[in-house]
């Protein structure tokens, strides 16, 4: 387990895959468009040096330079929000994975159930109360030096002072540690009668396999098939009441033995059972209901037996009729398991490798998978999941593997995390959609203008300044509101959706850019190389204002400013950048940027162009939503 968790590379998460795909989409777009701009300007203008600079400027304009900052700041804002909800975020990209998660796999003990377990019964083989069984269990839990789990703690707390003193008469000689294959552990002690005794406790089924006799009222009897059947009925009765059952057995050795191993765990005498009450957390049922309401299915992956798991799942509202056991998982091929993991909700008697394998197959089926666990046996699955979640009371290796750590016992924070993850993703997607569509429109306009206008429609410095101002206006996006409808379902990266969006909405701005070209050419007579700075100034202002306004058009599927208004920081940034865009050609800095003041009549046409642009965009948006939906 340590090797699988620390020595192997972490698998690529849904977030990383999505960002890679989007980045390559934009890179391919840049590699196609920049050379086209270069050759059109080179051949039509004849100045290849200027054409190279212009093409490079276009390439820079196409690059979403603010993407790393927008992504990091939106994730950081999500981390700050979750910290107020008592959640430690170890990996920022886990927040977006939280929002994309559509399957949550969870361990049972300590996650769905309370992290306080109580010992409820200590009985002999036939279910009668037995102090001998409690004493044997106490010796096993007290003298074992491995990690004391909640069951051991419950045993140690259940004994009285007399029994604690009684242990002083025993001397520990050796132990055989617990592992997830045997599902039992043993300690070897010297009794007050100088007898060497192995005391073993573990899962009932695994214990029965190594027992040959039973002890009833001090009498040793052979373990017959009939007795095995009775034992199964008694333990299942406890399980169906929601109690965990651990069998306790022992074996005495003759002579002097120094080294003990797994092979010595044979021919044991079954003394009885100890049962534990492990009630579900009060927050488990409402948390499960909220997750289901938000499109997240919950699957339980546990090492415990099926009857206890079904009882707990029934209490917290998880479908509990069908259970797949670890032994069956062992026999299934990857192809078969891919089908089975979709069908079942409860997986019981699992080893750590079984849990990891189920998570991997769910991911292979296209799900974004979260795993919530707190034990050693959960560590590999936590690391394999897109988002690993643990709790502060978990063992160190589980917390080390996790992306998020819950500091409170309430599971309702899971719902908060899912909502915040979706809000974070929605704001990141806004920037990518805005930038991709706006940049595509700009380049399309450049291509049209370059083919028909005898001078550059915009100088490289104009493109770069416009791009810088536009990017600065996006700084406020992480603080923007998100419509409630966008938080209802899991959200993930869809490069094809971004590409389609870019191709549909990009040319809309080009239509109004071409109208601006016509206005500057025919109305203001900016149609010669001598008048090119006026032409460029006119397009600079329209281009920047339409790019800035598209933020408000695309941030929501509703009517902007009426049905859905942006957050105050975003509105303020829009106003500031628009004002700067108008000030640059009109103010004293114009000649530094090779711009010139625009005639006042220009500002009579400008509102008409912007209003028409917003109306057409909203009309196209309605058609787009009806046909493709809105992410």
Paired with 281 in beta bridges are none
494 exposure class (CB count in 10 Å sphere: 0-12, 13-18, 19+): middle
Query: Residue 496's closest CA among 295, 631, 369?
Result: 631
446 contacts 539 by C-beta, under 8 angstroms: no
Quote the Cα angle for 149-151-155, to 5°. 120
Paired with 564 in beta bridges are 560
Alpha-carbon gap, residue 559 to 248, rounded angstroms? 68
Q: Where are the beta strands (DSSP E) in 280-437?
A: 297-301, 323-325, 346-348, 369-372, 387-391, 404-406
354 contacts 330 by C-beta, under 8 angstroms: yes
Q: Which two tokens stand for residue 470?
A: 């536009």
Query: Residue 537's closest CA among 486, 585, 575?
Result: 585
Query: Residue 300's closest CA among 58, 500, 108, 12?
Result: 108
Active site residues: 107
Query: Residue 511's closest CA among 383, 625, 613?
Result: 613
Strands 297-301 and 346-348, sheet pairing: parallel
SS3 content of the chain, % helix, strand, coil (to 5): 60, 15, 25
Count of other CB atoms within 10 angstroms of residue 218? 7
71 contacts 95 by C-beta, under 8 angstroms: no
**Secondary structure of 402-422 in the HEC alphabet?**
CCEEECCCCCHHHHHHHHHHH
Alpha-carbon gap, residue 255 to 263, rounded angstroms? 17
Q: Which residues of 598-627 are buried (b: 16+ CB within 10 A; e: fewer)?
A: beeebeebbeebbeebbeebeeebeebeee
What is the DSSP secondary structure assignment for residue 478, as one 8-state letter? G
Q: DSSP string of 83-144?
A: HHTTEEESSTTHHHHHHH--EEEE-STTTTB-S--EEEEEEETTS-B-HHHHHHHHHHHHH-
Helix (H) or strand (E) segment spanning residue 150: helix 150-158
587 exposure class (CB count in 10 Å sphere: 0-12, 13-18, 19+): exposed
Distance between first and last Cα of the chain: 39
Residue with tokens 């509703």: 558
Paired with 122 in beta bridges are 274
Helix (H, G, I), strand (E, B) or coil at 305: coil
Alpha-carbon gap, residue 414 to 418, rounded angstroms? 6
């Amino acid at each position: 387990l340590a090797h699988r968790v620390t020595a192997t590379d972490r698998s690529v998460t849904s977030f990383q895959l999505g960002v890679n795909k989007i980045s390559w989409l934009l890179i391919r777009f840049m590699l196609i468009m920049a050379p086209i701009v270069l050759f059109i300007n080179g051949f039509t203008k004849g100045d290849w040096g200027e054409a190279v600079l212009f093409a490079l400027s276009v390439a820079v304009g196409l690059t979403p330079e603010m993407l790393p900052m927008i992504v990091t700041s939106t994730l950081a804002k999500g981390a700050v929000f979750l910290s107020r909800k008592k959640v430690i975020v170890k990996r920022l990209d886990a927040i977006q994975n939280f929002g994309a998660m559509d399957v949550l796999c969870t361990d049972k003990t300590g996650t769905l159930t309370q992290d306080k377990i109580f010992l409820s019964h200590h009985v002999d083989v036939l279910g009668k109360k037995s102090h001998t069984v409690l004493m044997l269990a106490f010796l096993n839990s007290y003298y074992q030096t491995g990690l004391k789990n909640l069951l051991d703690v419950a045993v140690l707390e259940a004994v009285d002072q007399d029994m604690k003193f009684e242990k002083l008469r025993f001397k520990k000689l050796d132990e055989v540690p617990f592992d997830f294959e045997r599902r039992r552990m043993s300690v070897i002690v010297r009794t007050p009668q100088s007898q060497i005794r192995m005391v073993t406790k573990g899962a009932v089924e695994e214990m029965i396999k190594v027992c040959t006799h039973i002890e009833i009222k001090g009498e040793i009897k052979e373990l017959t098939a009939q007795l095995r059947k009775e034992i199964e009925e008694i333990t299942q009765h406890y399980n169906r009441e929601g109690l965990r059952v651990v069998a306790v057995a022992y074996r005495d050795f003759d002579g002097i033995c120094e080294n003990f191993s797994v092979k010595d765990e044979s021919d044991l005498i079954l003394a009885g059972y100890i049962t534990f009450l492990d009630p579900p957390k009060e927050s488990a049922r409402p948390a499960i209901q909220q997750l289901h309401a938000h499109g997240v299915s919950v699957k339980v992956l546990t090492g415990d037996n099926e009857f206890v798991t079904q009882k707990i799942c029934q209490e917290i509202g998880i479908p509990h009729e069908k259970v797949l056991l670890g032994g069956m998982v062992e026999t299934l091929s990857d192809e078969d398991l891919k089908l089975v993991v979709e069908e079942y909700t409860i997986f019981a008697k699992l080893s750590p490798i079984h849990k990891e394998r189920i998570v991997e197959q769910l991911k292979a089926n296209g799900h974004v998978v979260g795993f919530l666990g707190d034990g050693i046996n959960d560590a590999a699955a936590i690391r394999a999941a897109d988002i690993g979640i643990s709790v502060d009371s978990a063992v160190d290796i589980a917390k080390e593997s996790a992306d998020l750590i819950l500091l409170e016992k309430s599971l309702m924070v899971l719902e908060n995390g899912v909502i915040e993850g979706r809000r974070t993703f929605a704001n990141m997607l806004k920037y990518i959609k805005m930038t991709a569509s706006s940049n595509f429109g700009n380049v399309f306009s450049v291509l049209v203008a370059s083919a028909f206008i005898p001078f550059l429609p915009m100088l490289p410095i104009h493109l770069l300044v416009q791009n810088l101002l536009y990017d600065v206006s996006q700084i406020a996006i992480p603080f923007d509101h998100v419509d409630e409808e966008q938080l209802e379902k899991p959200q993930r990266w869809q490069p094809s959706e971004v590409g389609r969006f870019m191709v549909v909405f990009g040319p809309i701005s080009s239509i109004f850019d071409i109208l601006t070209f016509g206005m500057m050419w025919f109305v203001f007579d900016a149609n010669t190389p001598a008048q090119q700075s006026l032409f460029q100034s006119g397009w600079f202002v329209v281009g920047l204002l339409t790019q800035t306004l598209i933020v408000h058009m695309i941030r929501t599927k509703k009517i902007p400013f009426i049905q859905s208004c942006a957050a105050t920081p975003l509105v303020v940034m829009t106003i500031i950048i628009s004002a700067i865009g108008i000030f640059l050609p009109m103010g004293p800095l114009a000649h530094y940027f090779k711009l010139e003041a625009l005639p006042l009549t220009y500002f009579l046409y400008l509102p008409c162009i912007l209003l028409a642009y917003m109306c057409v965009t909203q009309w196209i948006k309605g058609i787009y939503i009806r046909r493709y939906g809105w992410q």
